[in-house]
Chain A
Amino acid sequence: MFDNLGSALLTGIAQGAMIALVALGYSMVYGILKLINFAHSEVFMMGAFVGLFALQALGGEGSPLLAGVFGTLAAMLFAGLLGTVVEKLAYAPLRARGKEASRIAPLVTALGMSVLLQNLAQLLFSARVQSYPQIIPIGETRIVIVVACFATMIGLWLLVHRTWFGKSMRALSMNVDAARLMGVRTGRVIGLTFMTGSSLAALGAVLYCLDQSPAYPTMGTVIGTRAFVAAVIGGIGSIPGAMLGGLLIGVLGELTKLTPYSKFQDVLVFAALIGVLLWRPSGLLGSTAVEKV
């Protein structure tokens, strides 16, 4: 029983850390633009595919270290570019319209981007599931995932607190006009934020697939939804919140698997979301004023 529990906890932390990596992208973008970037889950999916192709091209199981490191980096680079392109193509023109564009327009655009990318992947890569090469021994995947995720999060913390980019991003999320009055170039910071969030999602995607999961075009929907819920539960816009929310969702999800209700994992995830919205709308760590009418 305790063996089971311990193992479930470790798996849950690994799962949660990956979800947190994806959740960070939602939270960072929402923080500065107040936009639910529905396309983020598809950037995650695209990252998984590019990671797969890069891993295969670099030798796959034959050269695990080389393939693992550079394949992951390639996926992150590609996703970072994709995220920035999505922003420049779809969201930036709407921002330029200012208040003229209705509140719904950005959401429709984001949703459209998501549908477009998902179906594009279906056309490009086919709807089949494609499994990843086994480059990490099965017994060690969880440890590798946990270490990689936590190292990344420490790196992100430094980026956000110690660099000009991080400071201007946080300033922008608090007051756009004031940030511009400091000389912060909003377009550049927004682009960098998309790039950072998207590459984190790609890292999450590669790690997720290395943990014996295949890549397929609709994979973003399930993980993306969990990640978004994690971001809301932690307090959307809050970076530590996204990390905490991700871990909670991951651990709770794995613990459900020990019960007879394992099939209803995603139902519970949403029950948790509604619960949090009712009880604490700004999320567990959301410090900004509650967005209540």
Chain B
Amino acid sequence: MRTKHPNRAEPKAALGETLLAIDDLRVSYGGIQALKGVSLEVKRGEIVAMIGANGAGKTTTLKSIVRLLPLAGGSIRYDGLDLAQLSTEAIVETGVALVPEGRAIFGGLTVRENLELGAFSHKDGATMSETIDDVVQLFPRIGERMKQQAGTLSGGEQQMLAIGRAMMSRPALLLLDEPSLGIAPKLVQQIFVAVEAIAKSGTTILLVEQNTRLALKYAKRAYVLRTGTIAMHGDTRELAENDEIKAAYLGG
């Protein structure tokens, strides 16, 4: 995942500069205000985590970045673009990819077809097979199951496929929603090793994770969401020492 990536939409932002800036984001659905003004920032090259209890608004934040949910207010700027003006499909083409909660793989298609669809926004036969090779390098287990129906994979393998599928679009910003949810611990380890490798190869990552220990271990910075607002944020090492975080999310 590290060499030439001819099709990748190279961000204008330089390493360490702001790639994604969310300001006062408000989202409501079903009459309930799910986000009450969330502001956060992701710099190019970082792994940033969002942690918090169920219903705090983590998934809502990710979904609204790619416009799967309509915004009620606030702004989302990605690499100089106003994402509020774009459709989901167009956002994907600018180099943002979301791995949704629950993986959402296409169960009736083969593993290879799932990966191919991941490259839908960059339909180019030559680079596609190259990208598939990269994904297989990242997740060798996926390589062994290319012709299998994706629905027959185990939960962990499906998560690998979902991440691999997202990587097929060669994203500059990868949004990961609960990659460890419901997956055997051994596979969780493999997945996070791969996530680290993806970050090293130059993809910026915004990670939502209910497993706070994992999130704080792999991310550089983290935001803590509580009922639709940012309760605190900072360096993960500092947060891991914070008594409030320890009590609320690290079980003591």
The chain A residues found within 8 Å of chain B, CB to CB, are: 164, 167-168, 170-171, 174-175, 177-186, 287-288
Task: Check B104 against A167 for contact (C-beta < 8 Å).
Answer: no
A-B contact pairs, 9 of them (CB 8 A): A164-B123, A167-B116, A170-B109, A174-B108, A179-B117, A181-B97, A182-B165, A184-B117, A287-B108
Task: Check B93 against A174 for contact (C-beta < 8 Å).
Answer: no
Of A174, A175, A180, which is within 8 A of B88 by CB? Answer: A180
A180 to B120, CA, bound (A): 10
Contacts of B117 in A (CB 8 A): 167-168, 171, 179, 182, 184
Interface residues of B in 5-37 (CB under 8 A from A): none
A179 to B66, CA, bound (A): 13
Task: Check B92 against A170 for contact (C-beta < 8 Å).
Answer: no
Chain B interface size, under 10 / 10 to 19 / 20 to 34 / 35 or more: 20 to 34
Q: How many A-B residue pairs have CB under 8 A?
A: 63
Task: Check A181 against B66 for contact (C-beta < 8 Å).
Answer: yes
Contacts of B108 in A (CB 8 A): 170, 174, 287-288
A177 to B62, CA, bound (A): 13
Task: Check B106 against A178 for contact (C-beta < 8 Å).
Answer: yes
Query: Chain A residue with minimal CB distance to B90?
Result: A183
Contacts of A287 in B (CB 8 A): 108
Of A183, A186, A288, which is within 8 A of B92 by CB? Answer: A183
Chain A CB within 8 A of B160 CB: no
Task: Check B121 against A183 for contact (C-beta < 8 Å).
Answer: yes
Closest CB in chain B relative to A165 CB, distance in Å? 11
Contacts of A182 in B (CB 8 A): 92, 117-118, 120-121, 165, 169
With A171-B109, A183-B92 given, is the CB distance from A177 to B120 under 8 Å? no
Given contacts A167-B113, A171-B106, A183-B169, 12 further A-B contacts (CB under 8 A): A168-B120, A170-B113, A174-B107, A177-B68, A178-B100, A178-B104, A181-B66, A181-B88, A181-B104, A181-B166, A184-B120, A185-B89
Query: Chain A residue with minimal CB distance to B103?
Result: A178
A148 to B225, CA, bound (A): 61
With A181-B88, A182-B92 given, is the CB distance from A174 to B109 under 8 Å? yes
Contacts of B120 in A (CB 8 A): 164, 168, 182-184
